Chains A and B, each alone.
Chain A
Amino acid sequence: MTWTLLDRCCDRCTHSVENPCKDYVECRLNGPLCHEDERCRELRRRRLEELAYGEKGAKIKVPMASCTLAMGSEAVYNAVLEAVEKLGVEATVTISGCYGMDFIDPWVEFSAKGMPTAIYARVRPADVPKLIESYFIKRDVSGAFALKERTGGALGEEKVPLLSELDFWRKQYKWVSRNCGVVNPESLEEYVASGGYRGLSKALKVGPERVIDEIQKSGLRGRGGAGFPTGLKWKLARQQPATPKYVIANADEGDPGAFMNRLLAESDPFRIVEGLTIAGYAVGASQGFIFVRAEKPMMAKRLRRAVEEARKYGLLGRNILGSGFDFDIEVILSAGAFVCGEETAMIAAIEGKRAWPRQRPPYPAEKGLWGKPTIVNNVETLAHAATIMAEGAEKFAAVGTERTKGTKMFCVTGNVKRVGAYEVPIGVSVRYLVEELAGGPPDGSKIKAVQIGGPSGGCIPAALLDLPIDYETLQGAGAIMGSGGIVVMTEDTCMVDAAKFFLTFTSAESCGKCVPCRVGLRTMWNILDKITRGEGTEEDLHTLRQMAETVRSFSLCALGGTAPNPVLSTLRHFVDEYMAHIRDKVCPAMVCRALIAYRIDEERCIACGQCAMNCPVSAISRVESGKYRIDKEKCISCGICFAVCPVKVITKVPRGSLGGGHA
């Protein structure tokens, strides 16, 4: 068996899990510390090199995260194994997390001594042998998507850009996501080699008060959405006389379109485990929980594995790193309700009860899990805490705004060229994220609105794209930063329909405990549905507004408290669109089925009959000219003909424009 960085270097090393050494982590990279031996030092150096280039001097990394798996990275992995064997390439094949750049999935990364590390994008299993052959045998990198560095040792190097030169990479600020896509998420050794657990090690040396001081000094605020100062939360919990105390990592990421927590947990799970351990140490807890959404099994698997690994090497358990601090973590799968992300509901779920939120106060920091002081932190917050402890508060606070320091991961989805997760300093503009990083709409169409903060967030119009992203500024515009999901919508999105979409989600996810959320959201949905059917009245708009305000201010928890945001913000910024549905019975974006009709341009129709063949209600028939025509009385506006027409001569028109009393 190979010696790993986590093992003892020689018999002089006094460290063992039972009797741990305080300097264990530091000793891994810069050791040995307790004795001097060049051989031990060399052992470490060699191992670090092995980790970078593999034991054989060449390494192939295939990302294994939910997102890349969905794009077929497992087939690519198998193809790689097969090709390596077939071609006789001496390379270590390993897995990694995901860069968060979904537009290059599935990718592979090749590295070899003397060669620039190359990333290949959108790899199909069939391409793999060719790629391996050209890189490892021909030493040709010209087919790569990007290089990590230049060595001058490969063919075609000059044709390929450096990753660090590309906008979407260069313009990010990789702080908490630094390891994503870089390290093997299942290897504690790689985490430690990349600088992991220095934070915990330091924390245990300075004592809990100074940990809290450091976090407070950094200005870290909760990354789950509410933005409560993390240091203060820990301090409040620490001050509570009751024991035992608990810490919970909230990995119950449920917003549609948001996946930064999953990305982090799947690509760098140890950082979260380390962060939670630090939190436990700071508040004086001995038990931590990671609450993971059941629909994200790989996230749970990686976190479980990370906990096991950490336990195996004494980074969890009794007397961690000789500090006398006992701490363990249990990974708990949520039942899958959106409301479980609410801290009091999560606590109820962990207690084995129905996941219903309860009224605060008392806050969990005072009375939480089993009535004991409990803190609940988002996993990103905890990962930040671990990084801050390792790197220092000043470095973290160097970026960000006056009120909010540091960075935040955002997921940009929707109509953009480069869907992905990006980490940027807080305070950059929305435009920076959606245009400079994500590249804006793919087909050159115009951005109409950006939905920020998931179903609880709001839509801001294109005119406000220069708004700096911050908890406070976004609230002012009717949105929230939330957990960081950003959905870009172009001109072909109907804002009423979009608001309805989000309410469909929140009203279905309402736990039903309190009236305004349970009934109010449903009522609001009904009104929106009525409007999209062209049956809305101006009075409905008034009722909608009144409902939204009532639900927002009267709901028990943040689910109901924020769920009206998509409606309120669209009413605020896109009221014209509502009025078009109500007064003119027109859907300007041509989305709402009841308000649109389809028409075949008979001049350009090629009479192929595809439309008629596919029409589910036989509303399309041949006319004398041999071309096709849609019977507007029969047509249900399903849009199938529109989709199947090979020459795209079917257009959407407002239903009213066809006349015939079908307005």
Chain B
Amino acid sequence: MPKVKIDGRVVEVEPGTTVLAAAEKAGVRIPRLCVVPGLYEGSSCRVCLVKTPAGRLFPACNYRVYRDEEFVATSPDLWEMRRVNFELLLAFHRIECWQCERKGACSLVSLAKELGVEGIPVCSECPLPPSECLLRRGILCLGMITLAGCEAECVAGGGECWGCRGPITRADVLERAFKRYSELGFDVTSVVSKAEIFWNSLDSFGVVKSVAGRASGGGRG
């Protein structure tokens, strides 16, 4: 049986095993997204790419091992490129977690967390379904424009989000969020005023303010 060395750990696997399966056996975590065994062959999302000692890249989900081979699954450059690549994927995803029924069960969100890609709002972690959104009850929650990662602690604890993890800086997400705030009857300036409490000294708050400025300006025009 071929021996596969992944990040220094060696496992023996059946010939024809994918690197992903071998890595799981070896206890090495490789992020993945598009592969659905038996349904989709994978190799599209490119987040599971691993490197051979010669520096060649292969998707772990699709590369099958027939002889002794070695792979690197975790290295800073690999991780960085995975991140950039996933950022690209997310760049064209319409992030509207506040309206999304999938909520916590979203593989994009969990991958974004794993790879440290920003742009995901607290709404993705909010325990309330969209129909019970605090905003629908008139409570000004900053979840839509705040970076996820706190597990929506305040919302889970019965409060609203105050934005303590800092603002999302992806303009398109902010634009949609402000549109939603307006739809729900919140004044853009009141949102910004509340956000000021924790964000006033942040450079990234500038992005929020400029998007908010456009949102309120556009509303009037």
A and B touch in their complex, CB below 8 angstroms: yes
Number of interface residues of B (CB under 8 A): 22
- The CA of A335 and the CA of B62, in the complex, are separated in Å by 27
- The CA of A358 and the CA of B91, in the complex, are separated in Å by 24
Contact pick for A516, options B41, B58, B62, B85, CB 8 Å: B85
The interface residues of chain A lying within 8 Å CB-to-CB of B84 are 546-547, 550
The interface residues of chain B lying within 8 Å CB-to-CB of A358 are 41, 43
The interface residues of chain A lying within 8 Å CB-to-CB of B47 are 515
| A361 within 8 Å of B (CB atoms) | yes
Q: Which of B36-88 contact A (CB under 8 A)?
A: 41-47, 49, 57-59, 62-64, 81, 84-86, 88
| A513 within 8 Å of B (CB atoms) | yes
- The CA of A554 and the CA of B58, in the complex, are separated in Å by 9
Closest to B46 in A: A554
- The CA of A554 and the CA of B82, in the complex, are separated in Å by 8
Of B41, B44, B89, B92, which is in contact with the most chain A CB atoms at under 10 Å from its CB? B44
The reply to whether A550 and B88 contact each other, CB–CB distance below 8 Å, is yes
Contact pick for B85, options A359, A522, A554, CB 8 Å: A554
The reply to whether B85 and A513 contact each other, CB–CB distance below 8 Å, is no
- The CA of A514 and the CA of B62, in the complex, are separated in Å by 13
Q: Which of A501-555 contact B (CB under 8 A)?
A: 513-516, 519-520, 522-523, 546-547, 549-550, 553-555
The reply to whether A554 and B44 contact each other, CB–CB distance below 8 Å, is no
| A48 within 8 Å of B (CB atoms) | no
The reply to whether B57 and A554 contact each other, CB–CB distance below 8 Å, is yes
| A556 within 8 Å of B (CB atoms) | yes
The reply to whether B57 and A514 contact each other, CB–CB distance below 8 Å, is no
The reply to whether B88 and A523 contact each other, CB–CB distance below 8 Å, is yes
- The CA of A550 and the CA of B44, in the complex, are separated in Å by 14
- Binary contact track B122-165/A, C-beta < 8 Å → 1, others 0: 00000000000000000000000000000000000000000000
Q: Chain A at the B interface: mostly helix, strand, loop or mixed? A: helix
Q: Whole-angstrom distance from the CB of A619 to the nearest CB of chain B? A: 26
- The CA of A556 and the CA of B91, in the complex, are separated in Å by 19
Contact pick for B88, options A359, A361, A519, CB 8 Å: A519
- The CA of A549 and the CA of B84, in the complex, are separated in Å by 10
The reply to whether B57 and A515 contact each other, CB–CB distance below 8 Å, is no
The reply to whether A519 and B49 contact each other, CB–CB distance below 8 Å, is no
The reply to whether B58 and A359 contact each other, CB–CB distance below 8 Å, is yes
- Binary contact track B85-105/A, C-beta < 8 Å → 1, others 0: 110110110000000000000
- The tally of CB-CB contacts under 8 A between chains A and B is 56
- The CA of A547 and the CA of B81, in the complex, are separated in Å by 9
Closest to B62 in A: A359
The interface residues of chain B lying within 8 Å CB-to-CB of A556 are 43-44, 46, 59
The interface residues of chain B lying within 8 Å CB-to-CB of A555 are 46
A515-B89 CB under 8 A given contacts A359-B43, A359-B58, A553-B81: yes
The interface residues of chain A lying within 8 Å CB-to-CB of B44 are 513-515, 556
Q: Whole-angstrom distance from the CB of B83 to the nearest CB of chain A? A: 9
The interface residues of chain A lying within 8 Å CB-to-CB of B64 are 361
The interface residues of chain B lying within 8 Å CB-to-CB of A550 are 81, 84-85, 88
- The CA of A413 and the CA of B88, in the complex, are separated in Å by 35
A516-B46 CB under 8 A given contacts A359-B59, A550-B81: yes
Q: Which of B162-187 contact A (CB under 8 A)?
A: none
The reply to whether A515 and B88 contact each other, CB–CB distance below 8 Å, is yes
Of A358, A523, A550, which is in contact with the most chain B CB atoms at under 10 Å from its CB? A550
Closest to A526 in B: B91
Q: Whole-angstrom distance from the CB of B193 to the nearest CB of chain A? A: 30
The interface residues of chain B lying within 8 Å CB-to-CB of A522 are 92
- The CA of A523 and the CA of B42, in the complex, are separated in Å by 23
- The CA of A523 and the CA of B59, in the complex, are separated in Å by 22
Q: Which of A534-591 contact B (CB under 8 A)?
A: 546-547, 549-550, 553-556
Q: Whole-angstrom distance from the CB of A148 to the nearest CB of chain B? A: 51
Q: Whole-angstrom distance from the CB of A348 to the nearest CB of chain B? A: 12
The interface residues of chain B lying within 8 Å CB-to-CB of A513 are 44
A359-B81 CB under 8 A given contacts A519-B88, A520-B88: no
- The CA of A523 and the CA of B64, in the complex, are separated in Å by 32
Q: Whole-angstrom distance from the CB of B87 to the nearest CB of chain A? A: 9
The interface residues of chain B lying within 8 Å CB-to-CB of A514 are 43-46
Closest to A546 in B: B84
Q: Whole-angstrom distance from the CB of B35 to the nearest CB of chain A? A: 11
The reply to whether B43 and A553 contact each other, CB–CB distance below 8 Å, is no
A516-B63 CB under 8 A given contacts A550-B81, A556-B46: no
Closest to B43 in A: A359
The interface residues of chain A lying within 8 Å CB-to-CB of B81 are 549-550, 553-554
A515-B63 CB under 8 A given contacts A359-B58, A556-B46: no
The interface residues of chain B lying within 8 Å CB-to-CB of A519 are 88-89, 91-92
Of B45, B86, B88, which is in contact with the most chain A CB atoms at under 10 Å from its CB? B88
The reply to whether B45 and A359 contact each other, CB–CB distance below 8 Å, is no
- The CA of A555 and the CA of B88, in the complex, are separated in Å by 12
The interface residues of chain B lying within 8 Å CB-to-CB of A547 are 84, 88
The interface residues of chain A lying within 8 Å CB-to-CB of B59 are 359, 556
A515-B62 CB under 8 A given contacts A359-B43, A554-B49: no
- The CA of A515 and the CA of B57, in the complex, are separated in Å by 15
Of B45, B63, B84, B92, which is in contact with the most chain A CB atoms at under 10 Å from its CB? B84
The interface residues of chain A lying within 8 Å CB-to-CB of B49 are 554
The interface residues of chain A lying within 8 Å CB-to-CB of B58 are 359
- Binary contact track A611-642/B, C-beta < 8 Å → 1, others 0: 00000000000000000000000000000000
The interface residues of chain A lying within 8 Å CB-to-CB of B89 are 515, 519
Closest to B93 in A: A519
- The CA of A108 and the CA of B41, in the complex, are separated in Å by 55
The interface residues of chain B lying within 8 Å CB-to-CB of A523 are 88, 91
- The CA of A523 and the CA of B87, in the complex, are separated in Å by 11
New contact pairs (20) apart from A359-B59, A554-B85, CB-CB < 8 Å: A359-B42, A361-B64, A515-B47, A515-B89, A516-B46, A516-B85, A519-B88, A519-B92, A520-B85, A520-B88, A522-B92, A523-B88, A547-B84, A549-B81, A550-B84, A550-B88, A553-B57, A554-B46, A556-B43, A556-B44
**Chain A to chain B contacts (Cβ below 8 Å), 20 pairs:** A359-B63, A514-B43, A514-B46, A515-B44, A515-B46, A515-B47, A515-B88, A519-B92, A520-B88, A522-B92, A547-B84, A547-B88, A550-B81, A550-B84, A550-B85, A553-B81, A554-B49, A554-B57, A556-B43, A556-B46
Q: Which 3 residue pairs across A and B have the least CB separation, nearest first?
A: A359-B43, A519-B88, A515-B89
